[in-house]
Structure 1
């Protein structure tokens, strides 16, 4: 029988791993970490380049859209301005026509009122006396003269006369406007 004899102790191979944390920190990075860093850096640089390209493309598109919008806005503004000028011209001509018609009707109304007063002057003479009949005849002549002046002047001349009257008599103008407004409101209320 053979006895078991102890085997001589063999030495264990030393590990290449550092034994402490300080030693691990000071050790050089492994090849895998270095490769990961280089790939990450490349990805970041690629993302920056892509973002710069997208920014440039966005600025170019924005400039194109802005130019298109300005061009269309200018075209629409020109069209709108032309239509507005057309409508304003139509409104001016229509207002001028209405003013001429109004002037003619006012002249006719003054002539008609003058005739009515003249025809009623003898009745006033009989009922109130000769003095009041003369007042009626003077009023009739005054209405007739005013109608003739109104018919002789153009609408523009009448407008200028009205402006001049307002400049010279602002108090009277205000009073006339108040009375006319009151009468118109009473007329349209009914």
Structure 2
């Protein structure tokens, strides 16, 4: 069945091939819109989920921070009498004043919603960006020191286990 009119490299003509019509532009556009809507819906779900998780972490952080401040306040208040004996009553009063200020800050922190804290931080940064930048630098430095000391102690314990 070799046909001599076929291009070089072609052995035979394929029969029983059904031609499919090319989709029109409205069908293609509707498919694209469907895909676009599906992607948009998935993105909205992910964004909502991430936002909910972030708010949960912020709320948990607020609770922990408030508790830590309360503990620091109690510690300072407990040592005020010792400060009275060692350094004088004036310094003990300073310690009690600092303890009450820290306790008020802990109460304020515990009573705020995460959105309020974000708004307060934004307004503080707008009012005094220099102080915010300095605070961020100090926190960054402190965080690096904590991480380095943690890594150093972990490395020391690994060395002790190997020896």
> Please, what TM-score do these two structures have when normalized by structure 2?
0.72
Structure 1: distance between partners of 2:24 and 2:146? 58
Unaligned runs of 5+ in 2: 1-20, 151-163
Structure 2: distance between partners of 1:188 and 1:66? 59
Please give the residue correspondences for 1:9-48 in structure 2 after superposition, counting only pairs within 5 Å.
Answer: none
**Is 1:158–2:117 an aligned residue pair?**
yes
**Is 1:79–2:12 an aligned residue pair?**
no
Structure 2: distance between partners of 1:91 and 1:154? 18
Tell me by how many angstroms 1:115 deviates. Answer: 0.2
Q: Which residue of 1 aligns with 2:6?
A: none
**Is 1:142–2:101 an aligned residue pair?**
yes
Q: Which residue of 1 aligns with 2:84?
A: 125
Tell me by how many angstroms 1:110 deviates. Answer: 0.7
Tell me by how many angstroms 1:163 deviates. Answer: 1.1
Tell me by how many angstroms 1:69 deviates. Answer: 4.6
Q: CA RMSD in A?
A: 2.0
Tell me by how many angstroms 1:103 deviates. Answer: 0.8
Structure 2: distance between partners of 1:144 and 1:174? 26
Q: Which residue of 2 aligns with 1:178?
A: 137
Tell me by how many angstroms 1:144 deviates. Answer: 0.5
Decide which structure has the larger Cα Rg and report it: 1
* Larger relative contact order (CA 8 Å, sep ≥ 6): 2
Per-residue displacement from partner, 1:117-148 (whole Å, max 9, x unpaired)? 00011112222222222221111000011111
Unaligned runs of 5+ in 1: 1-59
2:60 corresponds to which of 72, 92, 101: 101
Per-residue displacement from partner, 1:164-190 (whole Å, max 9, x unpaired)? 111111111111111011111222232
Structure 2: distance between partners of 1:69 and 1:181? 52
Structure 2: distance between partners of 1:152 and 1:77? 42
